[in-house]
A and B are shown apart, each in its own frame.
Chain A
Amino acid sequence: MSERWGYAINQWKPNFDFFTRREQHERAFKTLSAAGFRAIELRAGTGRWEPLGRPEQVAANFGSAAQFLTYLNSCGIDGVSSLWWDPGEPNHEEPAPARSPLTVEDHAGIVESARILAQFLRDVGGTCLVARALPAAWRTGPLSSAQLDAAGACWSEVGAVTSALGVSLALHVDFLSPLRSLEDIGELLSRTDQELVGLALDTAEVSIAGIDPVALAKQHGDRVRHVHLKDARDTVGGEYLVPNAEKHVLLGGGERRIERWFWEMGEGSVDIRAVVDALRAHGYDGWWIVESDQSPSPPESVLLNAWTVQHVLAPRSGSGR
């Protein structure tokens, strides 16, 4: 079976007022296309400066999801692979407040938000909704079994809704998550319906959290529905518990003033080839999404990652260039 490869475009939008103009999108998409990436992962956002962040904004800027797809095609991009979404980020369009899968009262709202995004994904040819699994650990504190039960139930319910729309659900574990080990991840996965909910394995995020991504791929490979490939050099240690860690640690670099957590493949210490091999051994058939997340030069990151895909990871037929 042909592998499906794409690129997450979040690196072009480090903040809300970046990457708003059509010509910026066009140059980014053509850069990706020239490098052999013909599908893109979007990141959910809100408001008029997020023209690619939600179906309402796509409609306002392109007319409709179909016209957005036509525009992508004109840039040499075949379509959207997936969309990353954090229900903890409020949006103006529904409107929706910040919600948590740990809070039972939030579940209905999370399910409805997911339905809107999954419908949009279906309309632009996407096949996977990538959801932040849990809020950051500095907010949640240690999780009880009941809280994990609640989160598992929430995501199973979301998975049922997205699945009915032909969109899979994959839970993305980041380095600020309260899930800090293979066992922790297993605890959440075990509370979800394995037919409806999968794992999004992000090689850099789990590595920074101190979790071996190769071991994760081997142990939970049968649950992996989505992959983010990026490299890392540092681990976060205990700083994931710093209040407002998204700001002070992820963006601010924490006490060590780490300027960049995420690197192009091959620029860090993650054995990405071993992760890919392990997932291939499990028969993984989801998207391989390359991501930079943080980059001083997004086009340069694309080109370097493209070379690694072409020459090191050697995608199987139907992908890459």
Chain B
Amino acid sequence: MDENGSRLKWAYQDHWRRFGAGGPVMPWTSVSELDRFIKQIAAIGFTGIQTFDWNLYAMREMFGSTTGFEKFLQERGIEQVVDLFHARSYDQTGSPHLRDTHDTLFEECRVIMELAEGLNVQNLIVMPAALYPDVAPVSDDQIKAAAELWSRVGEMTLQYGVKIGAHHEFFCGIRNADEVEKFYEWSDPRYVHFFMDTAQHVIAGLDPVQLYNRWHERVSGFHFKDTHNVDVNDDYRKRPDSELMAPTTPRWFHEMGTAAGLVDFPALVRAMREHGYSGWVGVEHDKANFGGNYAESTAISAWYARNVLEPIYEGRA
């Protein structure tokens, strides 16, 4: 806690899987697997989770209700589901740059809001545009179309108490400085918020600290994750996929606290402190199982958060 009583609370973005006797197992396969997962992240100081909205169906099936799941979390030391990731695969039936699909996308988000009632979710995280090659060449009108969609959706989600947080994957259609600037200029600041994923911006060649200083009033949440590579080969343009299948880079994402990490987390936390950010910060390292281990990556992140970032935020370092 800093001198003003502000503090950071750490939430974990769930991509977890462990290696069981039969191969990889994900937490949402059974209550006992969720029990193992939740206990592990609670043991290292996380008090919130971020998960994918498709798990809302499993949540109701396994626990009867969203509040039943929240009780399960709280019994194990986790306060709440902080954010939901709406990872829609965009296509001709729904894509932010295609205005005639906006009603479909809007309705899908409304259904999610109804399913999430009772959870006190802060953000519905969305990729604001389709894959870059599906949008390219990116035009101002396409960015305006996306801004219109998410302004409209954000007004609706806010009625459920949930903000729309735009999460700019390095391979999406709104990714560079000019596109990001236009998107936030043209979207309604009341309804469209910036959900910063530190690794995605660095891979795209942007500085998360500059972005945060520019848009801090719009920032509603974070994924603190690291990368060892900037996309210098235009992998973001490549079909069919650049996230898992880029020819140059088999693994883009890493946990905080590795020697080769490119994200300047201390500088970002200093900026957050200066701008008075307080509350939840998400920690993510998707694909940690590529040559690694989720439990270890999560613990290393937690160590870095507690031993490096909290002292900076609290003015002790």
Task: Kindly list chain A residues whose C-beta atoms are within 8 Å of the C-beta of B238.
Answer: none
Task: Kindly list chain A residues whose C-beta atoms are within 8 Å of the C-beta of B43.
Answer: 35-36, 303-304, 306-307, 310
Is the CB of B306 closer than 8 A to any CB of chain A? yes
**Residues 270-317 (chain B) with a chain A CB within 8 angstroms:** 293, 295-296, 298-300, 302-303, 306-307
Cα distance A306–B36 when bound, in Å? 12
Q: Which of these, B42, B45, B307, contacts A76 with CB under 8 Å?
A: B307
Min distance, Cβ A70 to any Cβ of chain B, angstroms: 15
User: Which of the candidate stretches A25-33, A61-69, A222-230, A272-280 sits at the interface with the other chain?
Assistant: A25-33
Task: Kindly list chain A residues whose C-beta atoms are within 8 Å of the C-beta of B296.
Answer: 27, 31, 299
Min distance, Cβ A311 to any Cβ of chain B, angstroms: 7
Min distance, Cβ A4 to any Cβ of chain B, angstroms: 19
Interface size range on B against A: 20 to 34
Instruction: Establish whether residues B295 and A297, one from each chain, have CB atoms under 8 Å apart when the complex forms.
Output: yes
Is the CB of A300 closer than 8 A to any CB of chain B? yes
Is the CB of A34 closer than 8 A to any CB of chain B? yes
Instruction: Establish whether residues B303 and A302, one from each chain, have CB atoms under 8 Å apart when the complex forms.
Output: no
Closest-by-CB residue of A relative to B36 is A304
Min distance, Cβ A132 to any Cβ of chain B, angstroms: 30
Cα distance A300–B298 when bound, in Å? 10
Task: Kindly list chain A residues whose C-beta atoms are within 8 Å of the C-beta of B257.
Answer: 30
Instruction: Establish whether residues A34 and B45, one from each chain, have CB atoms under 8 Å apart when the complex forms.
Output: yes
Cα distance A300–B299 when bound, in Å? 9
Is the CB of A142 closer than 8 A to any CB of chain B? no
Cα distance A302–B43 when bound, in Å? 9
Instruction: Establish whether residues A296 and B36, one from each chain, have CB atoms under 8 Å apart when the complex forms.
Output: no
Tell me the interface secondary structure of chain B in the complex: helix
Min distance, Cβ B78 to any Cβ of chain A, angstroms: 11
Instruction: Establish whether residues B303 and A321, one from each chain, have CB atoms under 8 Å apart when the complex forms.
Output: no
Task: Kindly list chain B residues whose C-beta atoms are within 8 Å of the C-beta of A304.
Answer: 36, 39-40, 43
Task: Kindly list chain A residues whose C-beta atoms are within 8 Å of the C-beta of B306.
Answer: 34
Instruction: Establish whether residues B39 and A303, one from each chain, have CB atoms under 8 Å apart when the complex forms.
Output: yes
Instruction: Establish whether residues B293 and A34, one from each chain, have CB atoms under 8 Å apart when the complex forms.
Output: no
Min distance, Cβ A301 to any Cβ of chain B, angstroms: 8
**Residues 284-311 (chain A) with a chain B CB within 8 angstroms:** 296-297, 299-300, 302-304, 306-307, 310-311
Q: Which of these, A33, A76, A297, contacts B18 with CB under 8 Å?
A: A297
Instruction: Establish whether residues B293 and A297, one from each chain, have CB atoms under 8 Å apart when the complex forms.
Output: yes
Cα distance A321–B296 when bound, in Å? 18
Is the CB of B44 closer than 8 A to any CB of chain A? yes
Q: Which of these, A76, A300, A311, contacts B40 with CB under 8 Å?
A: A300
Instruction: Establish whether residues A76 and B77, one from each chain, have CB atoms under 8 Å apart when the complex forms.
Output: no
Task: Kindly list chain B residues whose C-beta atoms are within 8 Å of the C-beta of A27.
Answer: 296, 300
Min distance, Cβ B135 to any Cβ of chain A, angstroms: 39
Is the CB of B76 closer than 8 A to any CB of chain A? yes
Task: Kindly list chain B residues whose C-beta atoms are within 8 Å of the C-beta of A321.
Answer: 45
Asked, given contacts A31-B299, A76-B303, A76-B307, whether A307 binds B45 with beta carbons under 8 Å apart, the answer is no
Is the CB of B19 closer than 8 A to any CB of chain A? yes
Task: Kindly list chain A residues whose C-beta atoms are within 8 Å of the C-beta of B300.
Answer: 27, 30-31, 34
Give the 10 A-B CB pairs with smallest separation, nearest first.
Answer: A303-B40, A299-B296, A306-B43, A307-B39, A299-B295, A31-B299, A307-B43, A300-B295, A34-B303, A30-B303
* 21 A-B pairs in the complex with CB atoms less than 8 angstroms apart: A23-B259, A30-B300, A30-B303, A31-B295, A31-B296, A34-B44, A34-B45, A34-B299, A34-B303, A76-B307, A297-B19, A300-B18, A300-B36, A303-B39, A303-B295, A303-B298, A304-B39, A306-B44, A307-B42, A311-B76, A311-B77
Interface residues of B (CB under 8 A from A): 18-19, 36, 39-45, 76-77, 257, 259, 293, 295-296, 298-300, 302-303, 306-307
